[in-house]
Amino acid sequence: MLDDKVLLCFSDLMDAELRPRDHTVRVQTSASDRQGARGGRAIFARVGIGEAELSERAKIIWEGLKRCIGAYQQSVANDSMKGAINEQLRYWIVGESNVIRRLVDAEWAPATARPRCSD
């Protein structure tokens, strides 16, 4: 089991480190769209942006958890603690993958898929 101080530290750290990155993803996807990628290339470009961002966020999550455990956890690592660490990693990585998916999908649809106004 992870100490409450570790969880609080980790949660605060993740909010501070991950939320500013959302803007960067929006900027990258907008830049990709402005470069004129069409159809499948546009989707592929956005997938690449999302994949790279998730990889970076996973590293941030892992490093942040290690820092908080090192700062606040007093007990020796055991199977219960390893399970709690894995649970936190899974929770945060799945959560961030959903955030990234929404950011990468936001406001994109090929022109042929956009609804048209009829007179």
Q: How far is CA 33 from the centre of its chain?
A: 21
What DSSP assignment string belongs to 86-118?
Answer: HHHHHHHHHHHHHHHHHHHHTT---GGGS----
Distance CA 92, CA 90 (A): 6
37 falls in which pLDDT band (50, 70, 90)? Answer: low
Residue type, 106: A
Residue 39 has pLDDT above 70, yes or no: no
CB atoms within 10 A of CB 15: 10
Distance CA 15, CA 11 (A): 6
Q: Enter the pTM of the model.
A: 0.79
- Confidence (pLDDT) at 110: 45
As given in the structure block, the two tokens for residue 112 are 């042929």
- Rounded to an integer, the average pLDDT of 48-71 is 94
Distance CA 86, CA 14 (A): 16
55 falls in which pLDDT band (50, 70, 90)? Answer: very high
